[in-house]
Amino acid sequence: MSAEVVQSRRDWLLSERPASRMQARLGRAYVAWRRFSANRLAFVGLLIIIALLVIAALAGALAPYSPTFGDLKNSRLLAPSAEHWFGTDDLGRDILSRILYGSRWTLYVVILVAIIAAPIGLLVGTIAGYAGGWTDAILMRITDIVLAFPKLILALAFVAALGPGIENAVLAIAITSWPPYARIARAETLTVRNSDYIKAVQLMGASPFRIVLRHIMPLCISSLIVRVTLDMAGIILTAAGLGFLGLGAQPPLPEWGTMIASGRRFVLDQWWVAGAPGFAILIVSLGFNLLGDGLRDALDPRSGDQ
């Protein structure tokens, strides 16, 4: 691609007078992208998350061994070597392969929690903030009650009631993690609900439902995305914690928390069994945190030149 083509494409994106809806939207996205990519650390975070996605998609092709069957006779608790980069566990399974497959479960948990908890929080928060009065009081007291319990304990209670397993763990984490989102959404809503532009929409005769859905929610979404991204690390850790306690994913599923749990018996002599999945959790959590920080700068609705 020649330099001129790149230049003209950029001018088109940054045009002060876009000629279509599409161009306006793309231009806006491009500005956010430029601000995001100017932040090196955030970019590293994004690369980590992309790597996670690629690994999860291609785990079958990338993994050198089966994640669930090991050679019990010859390869129990081998130290990291050329054949087994991360060593093997007590059942002779290749840890690298298990971690590669485990990325699928990590993504599964993270994505499911995000698409359950974030919309609940958004809905509760914006409705409470916009309606005010009794609706606000009731919704926010419910939020406070959920918020008052430590997340892991409440999740434990849910899983104990629903039975162990990764689906129930996801459900339990989702149910316990929406209150902070509701609080954020409510706070955002309170700052905009008395603004003239919301008043102007009221004066168009818009229903409260329409105002919340089409005018208030879009303003809350960016801070919510940031918060959800920053929470991803916590979600992974909670899922790993449940797995560790034996209430999340069940063996032989290669879930990282469960892997740490089963490796803890040999942590002093065969550190790699628990260390490798621990390191994987660390890297992915870091990736989400860096990404979240970058998104906060890129999406902040209050920043001037957007």
Closest C-alpha among 14, 44, 8 to residue 294: 44
Q: Under rule CB under 8 A, which residues in 28-47 are in contact with other proteins?
A: 28
Nearer to other proteins, 126 or 289 (CB): 126
Q: Under rule CB under 8 A, which residues in 219-238 are in contact with other proteins?
A: 219
Could you tell me the smallest distance in angstroms from the CB atom of residue 141 to other proteins? 23
Q: For 83-214, where are the alpha helices, taking DSSP H only?
A: 95-131, 133-148, 151-162, 166-193, 196-202, 208-210
Asked if 306 interacts with other proteins (CB under 8 A), we say yes
Asked if 201 interacts with other proteins (CB under 8 A), we say yes
The residue type at 272: W
* C-alpha–C-alpha distance, residues 141 and 205, integer Å: 31
State phi, psi for 13 to the nearest 5 degrees: -65, -40
Asked if 51 interacts with other proteins (CB under 8 A), we say no
Candidates 1, 4, 17, 73: give the one binding other proteins (CB under 8 A).
17
Give the binding range for other proteins (CB under 8 A) out of 17-25, 153-161, 177-185, 234-242.
Answer: 17-25
Q: With contact defined as beta carbons under 8 Å apart, do 55 and 44 qualify? A: no
At a CB cut-off of 8 Å and minimum separation 6, what does 281 contact? 106, 236, 237, 240, 256, 257, 260
Asked if 218 interacts with other proteins (CB under 8 A), we say yes
Asked if 1 interacts with other proteins (CB under 8 A), we say no
Residues lying near other proteins in the complex (CB under 8 A) are found at: 16-21, 23-24, 28, 195-197, 199-206, 210, 214-215, 218-219, 301, 305-306
